[in-house]
């Protein structure tokens, strides 16, 4: 690569724990759906920091909200009442059927909160010793010990055992397996409406509705991990709203503060009774600075109808990718996803295609070495998506 990049890479080897395998790219600057590397090369960003910078990089209105709050108050801890937290909570709750919020700092923490609330609600409110959490093969719920147990992928927990007990996995779409897993010790079923890290795998709405119905029948909580699919990405504000689901608890994070670390768990008033003062806490969660920024972000998402935009622009983008698939069926196996959460599963080795896209100035993710995962900013110009599709077809024709 180049001199500036080589210097950054060499320095990192000395300084950071080696827990990441990085792209051959050091980013210096961003604006909207554009990124520039340390050598000044421009890229179109179809990854958005893994579904985080949904309003694009350095959005002017978000920057203004940040600057205003920077000089007012950053952090006082959750020992204090804080109005910015309440303003955000009011706005977030206006987007769903939930009644209460718990703020935290990441997706894994939002899932930890969901798991803890489900267990404690069952024990203290329902007086039932129900603690098990059922998840689906192919899911991803985070990297803390409990969320690793929920994720259930051995390659991720290698060397970290023992993991916390009380987690079981079943294959998606297998109703019989789920029915037999729902023993009296189960507290909740946790699903992603569209599996993100799993390679953009949307679960069918009919099946998800059956899962929720079964949970109701067996008196088990139904929880959705909206960390990646939430915040307008799939064409509705929350992904579960595509199918009229009513999860008791949802976990959210990624796009909530457009790159500042923030997570939130939303629960119904009924289930939220599982927490009392002292049950759960975090030093940073819902601080004034991140709350003020997140409030502006959710306001913009609602004002600019970004869920509708994701459905429309994403629908046209998906149709374009599907047309390429029909022209090149030996190169593309399948196009999956909803809104601006799309996956192109290749029938040819993915790495060279991904590398050539990068060389041509397009950043996306390559999932499991076969699926191009596309999570662009919700504000991306349609021409960027059209040009990406043209480049992809050109590369695949030659591949």
Ligand X SMILES: *Cc1c(COP(=O)(O)O)cnc(C)c1O
Q: Closest distance between ligand X and the C-beta of residue 4, in Å?
A: 28
10 - beta bridge partners? none
Active site residue 9: no
Question: Can you tell me which residue has the tokens 């999956």?
Answer: 336
Q: Closest distance between ligand X and the C-beta of residue 151, in Å?
A: 8
Rounded-to-integer distance, Cα 228 and Cα 192, Å: 9
Q: Closest distance between ligand X and the C-beta of residue 234, in Å?
A: 12
Rounded-to-integer distance, Cα 314 and Cα 296, Å: 24
Residues composing the chain = 399
225 - beta bridge partners? 251
Rounded-to-integer distance, Cα 279 and Cα 120, Å: 9
CB nearer to ligand X: give 231 or 317: 231
Using CB under 6 A as the criterion, which residues of the chain lie in contact with ligand X when the complex forms?
Answer: 106-108, 111, 140-142, 192, 196-197, 225, 227-228, 253-254
CB nearer to ligand X: give 228 or 371: 228
DSSP for 43-65, please give it.
EEESSHHHHT-TT-BT-HHHHHH
228 - beta bridge partners? none
Q: Closest distance between ligand X and the C-beta of residue 229, in Å?
A: 7
Buried b (16+ CB within 10 A) or exposed e, 197-214: bbbbbbbeeebbeebbeb
Catalytic residue of the set 103, 131, 140, 388: 140
Residue nearest to ligand X (CB): 107
CB nearer to ligand X: give 142 or 199: 142
CB nearer to ligand X: give 212 or 226: 226
Catalytic residue of the set 37, 45, 225, 384: 225
Active site residue 80: no
Q: Closest distance between ligand X and the C-beta of residue 47, in Å?
A: 13
Rounded-to-integer distance, Cα 237 and Cα 128, Å: 34
Active site residue 331: no
CB nearer to ligand X: give 111 or 367: 111
Q: Closest distance between ligand X and the C-beta of residue 196, in Å?
A: 4
Sheet holding 100-104, edge to edge: 100-104, 263-267, 249-252, 221-225, 186-191, 132-136, 167-170
H-run or E-run covering 357 = helix 350-359
CB nearer to ligand X: give 107 or 274: 107
Residues with active-site annotation? 140, 225, 254
């Amino acid at each position: 690569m180049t001199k500036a990049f080589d210097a950054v890479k060499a320095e990192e080897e000395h300084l950071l724990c080696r827990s990441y395998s990085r792209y051959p790219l050091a980013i210096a600057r961003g604006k909207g759906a554009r990124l520039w590397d340390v050598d000044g090369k421009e890229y179109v960003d179809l990854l958005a920091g893994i579904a985080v910078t949904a309003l694009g990089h350095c959005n002017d209105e978000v920057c203004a909200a940040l600057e205003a709050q920077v000089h007012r108050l950053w952090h006082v801890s959750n020992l204090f009442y804080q109005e910015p937290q309440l303003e955000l909570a009011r706005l977030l709750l206006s987007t769903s059927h939930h009644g209460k919020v718990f703020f935290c700092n990441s997706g894994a923490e939002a899932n930890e909160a969901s798991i803890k609330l489900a267990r404690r609600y069952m024990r203290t409110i329902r007086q039932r010793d129900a603690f098990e959490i059922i998840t689906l093969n192919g899911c991803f719920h985070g990297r803390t010990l409990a969320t690793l147990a929920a994720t259930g992928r051995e390659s991720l927990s290698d060397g970290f055992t023992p993991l916390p007990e009380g987690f079981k996995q079943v294959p998606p779409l297998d109703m019989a397996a789920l029915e037999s897993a729902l023993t009296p010790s189960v507290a909740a079923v946790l699903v992603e409406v569209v599996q993100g890290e799993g390679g953009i795998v949307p679960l069918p709405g009919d099946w998800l509705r059956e899962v929720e119905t079964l949970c109701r029948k067996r008196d088990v909580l139904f929880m959705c991990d909206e960390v990646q699919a939430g915040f307008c990405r799939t064409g509705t504000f929350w992904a579960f709203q595509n199918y009229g689901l009513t999860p008791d608890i949802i976990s959210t994070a990624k796009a909530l503060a457009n790159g500042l670390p923030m997570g939130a768990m939303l629960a119904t008033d009924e289930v939220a009774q599982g927490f009392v003062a002292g049950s759960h806490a975090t030093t940073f969660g819902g601080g004034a600075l991140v709350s003020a920024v997140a409030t502006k972000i959710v306001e913009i998402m609602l004002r600019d109808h970004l869920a509708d935009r994701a459905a429309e622009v994403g629908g046209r983008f998906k149709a374009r990718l599907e047309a390429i698939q029909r022209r090149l069926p030996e190169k593309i196996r399948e196009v999956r996803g909803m809104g601006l959460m799309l996956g192109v599963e290749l029938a040819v080795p993915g790495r060279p295609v991904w590398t050539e896209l990068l060389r041509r100035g397009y950043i996306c993710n390559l999932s499991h070495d076969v699926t191009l995962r596309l999570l662009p900013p919700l504000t991306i110009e349609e021409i960027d998506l059209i040009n990406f599709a043209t480049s992809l077809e050109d590369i695949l024709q030659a591949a």
